[in-house]
Amino acid sequence: MLKITDSIIKVKGIGPKKASLLNKLAIYTLEDALNYFPRDYAIQRAVIPIDKVRPGQDASIAASFNGKAGTRYIKGLSITSISAVDDTGSIDCVWFNQPYRAFNYKADTLYFISGKVNKKNGSMQLQNPLVEDYCKDKHTKDALLPVYRLTKGLRQGDLKNLIDKALECLKLQAPSNFDSYIDGASNLMGKCKAYEAMHYPESEKLLESARQRIAFEEFFHLQLRALYTKHFLSSSTNSLIIKVDSAKLGLFFASLDFQLTASQHRAIKDILTDFAGGRPMNRLLQGDVGSGKTLVAATALYAAKLAGLQGAMMAPTELLARQHLGALAKLFNRFQLRIELLVGNMPSSERDKVVQGLAEGKIDILVATHAILQEDIVFKKLGLVISDEQHRFGVRERAVLRSKGKLPHFLAMSATPIPRTLAQIIYGDLDISIMNDMPKGRIAVKTYCVRSSLRERVYRFVRNRVKEGEQAYIVCQLIEESDKIEAISAEELYIELKENYLRDIDLALLHGKLEAKEKELIMDKFIRGQIKVLVATSIVEVGIDAKDATVIVIENAERFGLAQLHQLRGRVGRGHKQSYCILISDTDQELALERLSTIVSTTNGFEIAERDLELRGPGDLYGIKQHGILDLKIADPIKDSKLFALASEHAQLVVSNISKEEYKKVLEESLAKNMTKDIVTS
Ligand code: ADP
Ligand code: MG
């Protein structure tokens, strides 16, 4: 008998070829197949009498093929048609290139026939209809048919067959402790039924119940793992204690030409408390763009160094890594620290030096991109890992990073404010420090929304600012022209501006398709003021810090999500001059207008995030799902927040009501559920 965990290759009818196609969809086991949910459902209509069928409809009838079948050939194409009849009339059924249809059906037999209705030469036809034996129970109501995402060479039928096998298998299998627990403890649909209904829903209502059960389970496992990580970290006794040398840290603070903000004070205190506590820190630092997270990170790195440990700081792009390197070098310029950079494509001689320096413990701080994950990067004594823009790193990366040290302290930094309720779901295993104030003297960015008829005036404004020695970003959604999307592209606009409004101004084009070297060069020139105006895509969204940039113009602003607009605006207002954000949009769409007016009316990232929760524009809340932080297929952390609360309660209950031994068993089951294993494996 097949087990649900068996490889699909064991299933009859699946050979190496089909298996490799299925692997492309990340289906390796029967369980994967079970969890390969339809991307959509097509509605199959309940049968109606033929005289009620109308052109343009998707219609189903119960009829018999009593007429004569005929096949014509036109230019190698075959057209087979048979007339279908019921008590109310008749209709032609037509198939292209399926001549066997002419001999497929018995006379005087009732069939279920379903397809698109077309009018041809004054009479109606069903084109390429689906035909099956008529079954009164099944066909007299609307049905939802699963539609799966495919890959070339694979058909819907292949997936359906496999999923049917997996469903059978699930039914025969004894339920796990978990499943019995959830089945018994909640009012949710049973597990087998839920899987069946996900793939073959009998109604929208049942589909929703099934979705809830699966979502609940996803949340439950997520929470259980979070609780486990917390539990594991808080009970690990062999962690690195970082004793803080407050006198030396004081010297560092004294070297700054500004006072710490209250939030910075609080965040640093949180971190130092974790350091001293004897358990590995696992903390998220959330603060708006410009709130001064780098200084907090630097302080943590310095504290680690003073305790004789190495630190690593990861950034999602090379550009950002270089900026961090620059910022840290500046902050530490009066202190004896060796800071090095590690990026993907660096000369091997340079790389070798870094690798050696890390292994020998001579490098105090490493600033790096994903390149840090490579196997040969080994630290002598890694005490602290910081990842910037945490939402771009998955759980897996975090685990690899952790594995490079003996349970190093971990700090994630995110500039995308997320409401606390949501943060608890997404970062369930992390403690959270929030930075909700800004360094003194910062002048709030003025934001305006204008129609495109005013574009000329906007560019004249940009021009005037540049003449005053300031700089500007002009952001487009597209790199190049697209037939599908009506929005001005960066390339088009760059040419237009260069030939016209900004003719005599140093202008550059920046987008993701440029070579990394070239991007860097352009950014570098911009930061040094050699380029005055950057026409760019949202690539400038993360972290770029140019003090003289005072204007950001966002073209087709309706096409950006709230979080993205907020992040983009954060590119300006970083110096001491008044800055401006100008949104250009002609939209009349209500939700888009709501988003734009939100951005115009507030600069507080947490407020904007709350509003985003309510509106949910493009970009689906910071692209949390896309970035793969969460292994959620079905559950929606926003829509299903009540379900999350319930799942969370149950997870707590499970954890507090069972013995350590049982807990371990339950957890192992949970972890075996082909989910990413977090710290447990590291
Ligand atoms: P982010 O939180 O976006 O990473 P940064 O750390 O880059 O913000 O800080 C933004 C700017 O504010 C930097 O130029 C930094 O030097 C400056 N800054 C940081 N903290 C303070 C402070 N307490 N007072 C004044 N300026 C500060
Ligand atoms: Mg930053």
Contact 570, 417 (CB under 8 A): no
Q: Whose CA is nearest to atom 22 of ligand 1?
A: 439
Atom of ligand 1 nearest to the CA of 441: 25
263 and 403, same structural domain?
yes
The burial of 234, by beta-carbon neighbours within 10 Å (0-12 exposed, 13-18 middle, 19 or more buried), is given as middle
User: With 0-12 CB in 10 A as exposed, 13-18 as middle and 19+ as buried, what is 334?
Assistant: exposed
How high is the pLDDT of residue 625?
45
The total number of structural domains in the chain stands at 3
What confidence tens digit (pLDDT) does each residue in 586-605 have?
999 988 999 999 999 998 88
Residue 117 belongs to domain with CATH number: 2.40.50.140
Tens of pLDDT, residues 171-185: 998 887 778 877 877
- The answer to which of 258-272, 533-547, 598-612 has the lowest mean pLDDT is 533-547
Confidence of residue 390 (pLDDT cuts 50, 70, 90): low
Percent of the chain with pLDDT over 70: 91
Domain boundary among the residues 435, 466, 489 is at 435
Residues 344, 467 within the same domain? no
- pLDDT tens across 302-317, in order? 999 999 999 999 988 8
Shortest-distance ligand to the CA of residue 313: 2
| 428 and 280, same domain (yes or no) | yes
* pLDDT band at 616; cut points 50, 70, 90: low
Instruction: Name the phi and psi angles at 92, rounded to 5.
Output: -80, 135
In a domain, residue 334? The reply is yes
Domain termination residue (choose one: 536, 568, 602): 602
- Whether residue 457 sits in one domain with residue 388: no
Smallest CA separation from ligand 1 atom 14, residue? 574
- Strand 58-65 and strand 111-120: pairing? antiparallel
Which amino acids bring their CB within 6 angstroms of ligand 1? Answer: 258-261, 264, 287, 289-295, 415, 439-440, 545, 574
pLDDT band at 624 (very low <50, low <70, confident <90, very high): very low
Is residue 82 exposed (0-12), middle (13-18) or buried (19+ Cβ within 10 Å)?
A: buried
CA distances from 270 to 89, 274, 411, 412, 459 (A): 78, 6, 11, 13, 46
What is the token pair recorded at 396?
Answer: 């897996």
Distance, CA 132 to ligand 2 centroid (Å)?
61
Tracing tokens 């983009």 back to the chain, one arrives at: 568
The answer on pLDDT for 239 being more than 70 is no
Q: Is the separation of the CB atoms in 450 and 458 below 8 Å?
A: yes
Q: Which residue has the higher pLDDT, 508 or 228?
A: 508
Ligand 1 atom nearest the C-alpha of 294 is 6
Nearest CA to ligand 1 atom 10: 290
Over 70: is that where the pLDDT of 582 sits? yes
Query: Residue 522 in contact with residue 534, Cβ under 8 Å?
Result: yes
* 187 vs 184: CA distance, rounded Å: 8
Q: How confident is the model at residue 669 (pLDDT cuts 50, 70, 90)?
A: low
Give the model confidence (pLDDT) of 465-484 as tens digits: 999 999 999 999 888 877 66
Query: Does residue 520 carry a pLDDT above 90?
Result: no
Q: Which residue has the tokens 């005929």?
A: 70
DSSP string of 364-406, one letter each residue:
SEEEESGGGGSTT---SSEEEEEEESGGGS-HHHHHHHHHTSS
pLDDT of residue 659: 59
C-alpha Rg value of the chain to the nearest Å: 30
> Is the pLDDT at 530 greater than 90, yes or no?
yes
> Of 473, 450, 416, 446, which is closest to residue 556 (Cα–Cα)?
450
Cα 290 to averaged position of ligand 2 atoms, centre (Å)? 7
pLDDT of amino acid 222: 83
Q: Give the whole-angstrom CA distance, residue 639 versus residue 620.
A: 12
Q: 427 with 454, same domain?
A: no
Ligand 1 centroid to 477 CA: how many Å? 28
CA of 317 to the centre of ligand 2 (A): 12
CA atoms within 13 A on the CB side of 631: 18
Strands of 580-584's sheet in order across: 446-450, 580-584, 549-554, 471-475, 533-536, 507-510
Q: Does residue 174 fall inside a structural domain?
A: no
- The per-residue pLDDT for 542 is 60
Distance (angstroms) between ligand 1 centre and the Cα of 293 equals: 7
Report the half-sphere exposure of 368 (CA within 13 A, side-chain side).
23
DSSP state of 680: G
Instruction: For residue 477, tell me if it sits in a domain.
Output: yes
In the chain, what percentage of residues exceed pLDDT 90? 51
Q: Which two tokens stand for residue 612?
A: 């985003």
Q: How confident is the model at residue 201 (pLDDT cuts 50, 70, 90)?
A: very high
Q: How far is the CA of 267 from the centre of ligand 1 (A)?
A: 14
pLDDT score of 681: 29
Domain that holds residue 462: 446-602
Q: Is the pLDDT of residue 380 over 80?
A: yes
- For ligand 1, atom 5: residue with the closest CA: 292
Best residue among 252, 258, 367, 442 to mutate for probing ligand 1's pocket (most ligand atoms within 8 Å of CB) is 258
Please report, for the domain that includes residue 562, its CATH number.
3.40.50.300
User: Residues 6 or more apart from 109 whose CB is under 8 A from it?
Assistant: 64, 65, 133
Distance 358 CA to ligand 1 centre (A): 28
Query: What pLDDT is recorded for position 248?
Result: 92
Ligand nearest to the CA of 289: 1
Least confident residue range of 16-30, 67-81, 398-412, 505-519: 398-412
327 Cα–ligand 2 center, Å: 10
DSSP string, 279-339: S--EEEEEE-TTS-HHHHHHHHHHHHHHTT-EEEEE-SSHHHHHHHHHHHHHHTTTS---E
Is residue 565 domain-resident?
yes
Q: What is the pLDDT of residues 122-174, one digit of tens each?
A: 888 999 999 999 999 889 988 888 989 888 888 888 999 999 999 999 999 88
404 shares its domain with 529: no
Query: Does residue 379 sit in the same domain as residue 454?
Result: no
541: CA distance to ligand 2 center in Å?
11
Higher-pLDDT residue of 431, 670? 431
- Cα 302 to middle of ligand 1, angstroms: 17
Q: Which one of the ligands is nearest to 328 CA? A: 1
Closest protein CA for atom 18 of ligand 1: 292
Q: What is the pLDDT of residue 551?
A: 97
Q: Are residues 487 and 391 in the same domain?
A: no
Give the residue whose CA is nearest to atom 9 of ligand 1.
292
Same domain as 457, residue 426: no
Give nearest CA residue, ligand 1 atom 16: 292
Greater pLDDT, 163 or 618: 163
Say if residue 485 is in the same domain as residue 403: no
Q: Provide the greatest CA pair distance for the chain.
A: 98
- Of residues 397 and 58, the one with the higher pLDDT is 58
> Has this prediction a pTM greater than 0.75?
no
**Range with lowest mean pLDDT among 18-22, 241-245, 443-447, 531-535:** 241-245
Q: State yes or no: pLDDT of 392 exceeds 90.
A: no
Going by pLDDT thresholds of 50, 70 and 90, the confidence category of residue 237 is low
Q: What pLDDT, on the 0 to 100 scale, is given for residue 634?
A: 83
Residue having the nearest C-alpha atom to atom 25 of ligand 1: 439
- On the question of pLDDT at 662 being above 70, the answer is no
66 by Cβ neighbours in 10 Å (0-12 / 13-18 / 19+) ranks as: middle
Mean pLDDT calculated for residue range 111-130: 91
